[in-house]
Amino acid sequence: MWTCPKCKRQFKRKGQTHGCRLISKDALFIRPRPELKLLYQKIAAVAKTFGLVREETVPPDVIFFKTDSTFLAVKVKKDHLDIEFFLDRRADAPRVLKFLQTSKHRFVHLVPIDEEEDIDDQLVEWMRASYDLIKK
Residue ranges covered by each domain of the chain: 20-135
What is the identity of the amino acid at 81? Answer: L
**What are 103's strand-pairing partners?**
106
Q: What's the average pLDDT block by block, 10 residues per block, for the chain (136 residues)?
A: 74 72 85 90 98 91 92 96 97 95 95 97 98 89
Q: How far is CA 31 from the centre of its chain?
A: 20
Q: In this structure, how many other beta carbons lie within 10 angstroms of the beta carbon of residue 40?
A: 20
pLDDT at 96: 97
The pTM of the full predicted model, rounded to 2 decimals, is 0.86
Q: How far is CA 25 from the centre of its chain?
A: 13
- The top-level CATH class assigned to 20-135 is alpha beta
d(CA 17, CA 87): 23
